[in-house]
Structure 1
Amino acid sequence: MSTTDGEQTGKEQKFELQKKIGLWGAVALATSSMVGSGIFVSPVGVLNSVHGSVGVSLLIWFGCGVIAMMSSLCYCELGTTFGVSGGDYNNFKLAYGPLMAFLLVCTRSFWHPGHAITLQIFARYLLGPLFGDGCNPPEVAIKFIAFLTLSFLIHLNHRSVTTSVHFEIFFTAAKFLALMIIAVVGIVHLANGRHSGVYNFQHAFDSPQTSKLTLADIARGFHFGIFPYNGWYALNNVIEEIQDMKKNLPRAAILSLISVTIIYLLVNVGYLSGTNQFAKYFIITYCQQRLLLCSKFILF
């Protein structure tokens, strides 16, 4: 018995991440990585790039969703082939060696300061009601709340993957709710026969601006439109934690991109239904800003 125990003790135990992310948790993670401030910024760029053509701008949004889905499925093939978490780190390591993969991680550590900015913006909105209108919270208080928030997220992810996934699903639903408010309000205006909205869609492709379009204009529109889909590759970062990876990884990628593409199209319809002055619909209400910021900081 002692020999057997010694042999078992001498064997190296294989380290494996716990597979606690199911299909819907993976969908929430992917959609949360994509949906952010881009949907409030890019529509102006897309519409201006195609000279105000409503129909062409919507086609570009759909086309960007297709491109993102094809890219995500390519990453799914890489992920299911190697089955290792880490995303681009492992791809670079395989293609260029460990040194280039290490440099990639170092570069991205300095390349993404936006997370710290997001935390401070969240803290500013959280403290805003306590100080009243016109009074800015002290910088010390903002940074202290941001630090506490970061510490809470680190503790949450360290303590339980399952709890983190539940938080992810909740805040993803909150993001979609905020976007649906914009979409539904605009669609209701369209259904009620609001003149500007009806005109935009009746003349979606036959406006004078459509004839002036060039390939450069369309390419510029795709450049603006693809930005809100950034994050389609997020699932490969946690591939070892996804249950039944070979089935759930491509399913989650497809479901998340379909959901995001539909909600982006509906939001654009909502913008275009309410007024022909497109920029006016980018004045987001205070409550919508806070809801989006609260949901954005949960995933880094």
Structure 2
Amino acid sequence: METLLEEKGNEDGKMQLKRTIGYFEGVSFIIGTIIGAGIFVSPTGVLKYSSLNVGVALSIWAACGIISLMGSLCYAELGTALPLSGGEYSHIKRGLGSPLAFIFMWTALFNKPASNAARALLFPEYAIQPFYGVCPAPEVLKKCLALAVLWFLGILNGRSVKIAAWVQTVFTVLKMMALSVIAIGGIVLLIKGRKENLARFENAFSSDIPDASQIAEAFFQGLYAYGGWWSLNYMAEEMKNPSRNIPLTVMTAVPAVTVFYLLVNISYLTVLTPKEVVSSVAVAVTWADRVIPTVAWIIPLSVTVSIFGALNSSMFILGRLSYAGSQSGHLPVLISMLNIHYSTPAPAMGFSTIIATVFIIPSDLIALTNYFGFSVWLMIGLTCASLIVLRYREPNLHRPYKVNGNK
């Protein structure tokens, strides 16, 4: 699946990345981007703001999955009608104009590398902290490891799409196996469960019902856990048969994540009480200590694997954003150049990796996470607005797929 250069089928003879990413790789990228450390470490936000009401919490997890699927289907229409690199940037530029696209580009150039820096800083928390026991690991060591992982993946994605996609597929399979252990373990425990465990689900809505503000906060927490469903549009230019594969990929990946999130949360609540879930710093580790104590180390390892896979996919799509911005003249032209030996947007990958590096050196994890979350929903709103504008402004634009299912 090595990315090569390909002549565009138009008169300008402009070079573009060849369509080499298939359905399975697309599913791996979406799932790998969505599932990070959150579902393993602390899925407490939804339950906390649901007033420890198990039924409400599970309903919100399901509703967030449906909302994410609806959003991804809107993006699928844009991706099939305008299969270009750059994802939201390219769609906003076409629908709302260059000025807003320019603002989006320069905003994304900082908040998306901040997200990557946050993931890179989270990696050593689980990779090296177990070796220090109760003592905190040295900050310098954690930052050095974060920088090493960041640059390793930046160079990897700059050299070969084939290897990057292979790494993504392998790590997605590994994290899904870990989630399967938790999900299947919960199902087995439910079948053989004690009455007090089953009572949590038989009387799922018996606790206090949260008010509107709490429900809104619970939805925010849940939607954050589904973040990444928009990632496929950043590589639309490289998708094989995008008219078919983009909608099919999102309709496979997002529901699959929703089902696993529900099963994993049910498994947690089968073993732990709602209060124990909320008070646990790493709920999956607590679950493993109770259910599989002899091999509980699998969970911290799974968290590390999950973070690595999510960071790899984020690095991949961020390079495409810089590449698209440079092609449109919103970034220096050097960034849109392609490596003739490896046929990848290597300058764009290096540029985005350097920005993420700057965030790692002085910043902390909490500050980076808050910075990233501040603007992500504004970007999604602008992209969905561009979909509506294009429906009216360009009604005859070829749309192989439409959200309402009409051709």
Length-normalised TM-score, structure 2? 0.64
Contact kept in structure 1, 2:121 and 2:146, CA below 8 Å: yes
Deviations 1:43-84 (A, max 9, x none): 422223332222222222111111111111111101111221
Match of 2:93 in 1: 93
In structure 2, do the counterparts of structure 1 residues 280 and 274 end up closer, same or farther at CA, with 3 Å as the change threshold?
farther
Within 5 A, what are the aligned runs for 1:1-300?
13-40=13-40, 43-112=43-112, 113-123=114-124, 125-128=126-129, 132-133=132-133, 138-205=138-205, 207-209=206-208, 212-276=209-273, 277-279=276-278, 282-285=282-285, 286-300=300-314
Match of 1:7 in 2: none
C-alpha distance in structure 1 between counterparts of 2:257 and 2:110, whole Å: 28
C-alpha distance in structure 1 between counterparts of 2:128 and 2:272, whole Å: 34
Greater RCO (Cα-Cα under 8 Å, separation 6 or more): 1
* Stretch of structure 1 that moved more, 170-179 or 119-128: 119-128
C-alpha distance in structure 2 between counterparts of 1:202 and 1:101, whole Å: 50
C-alpha distance in structure 2 between counterparts of 1:219 and 1:147, whole Å: 36
Contact kept in structure 2, 1:42 and 1:227, CA below 8 Å: no
Which residue identity lines up with residue 278 of structure 2 in the other structure?
Answer: A
Q: Percent identity?
A: 35
1:128 positional shift: 4.8
In structure 2, do the counterparts of structure 1 residues 284 and 100 end up closer, same or farther at CA, with 3 Å as the change threshold?
same
In structure 2, do the counterparts of structure 1 residues 258 and 26 end up closer, same or farther at CA, with 3 Å as the change threshold?
same
C-alpha distance in structure 1 between counterparts of 2:268 and 2:124, whole Å: 29
In structure 2, do the counterparts of structure 1 residues 221 and 119 end up closer, same or farther at CA, with 3 Å as the change threshold?
closer
The alignment yields a C-alpha RMSD, in angstroms, of 2.5
Contact kept in structure 1, 2:126 and 2:304, CA below 8 Å: yes
SS at match of 1:80: helix
* Stretch of structure 1 that moved more, 34-43 or 20-29: 34-43
In structure 2, do the counterparts of structure 1 residues 40 and 152 end up closer, same or farther at CA, with 3 Å as the change threshold?
closer
C-alpha distance in structure 2 between counterparts of 1:121 and 1:37, whole Å: 9
Which residue identity lines up with residue 151 of structure 2 in the other structure?
Answer: S
In structure 2, do the counterparts of structure 1 residues 87 and 265 end up closer, same or farther at CA, with 3 Å as the change threshold?
same
In structure 2, do the counterparts of structure 1 residues 120 and 254 end up closer, same or farther at CA, with 3 Å as the change threshold?
same
Contact kept in structure 1, 2:172 and 2:306, CA below 8 Å: no
C-alpha distance in structure 1 between counterparts of 2:211 and 2:149, whole Å: 47
C-alpha distance in structure 2 between counterparts of 1:223 and 1:57, whole Å: 12
Contact kept in structure 2, 1:194 and 1:273, CA below 8 Å: no
Q: Provide the aligned length of Structure 1 versus Structure 2.
A: 286
Deviations 1:220-263 (A, max 9, x none): 33222211111111111110101010000000000001110010
* Stretch of structure 1 that moved more, 105-114 or 15-24: 105-114
Contact kept in structure 1, 2:178 and 2:302, CA below 8 Å: yes
SS at match of 2:17: coil
1:199 positional shift: 0.8
Contact kept in structure 2, 1:196 and 1:273, CA below 8 Å: no
Contact kept in structure 2, 1:36 and 1:292, CA below 8 Å: yes
Unmatched segments (≥5 aa) in structure 2: 1-10, 286-299, 315-407
Length-normalised TM-score, structure 1? 0.84
Contact kept in structure 2, 1:119 and 1:146, CA below 8 Å: yes
C-alpha distance in structure 2 between counterparts of 1:134 and 1:101, whole Å: 47
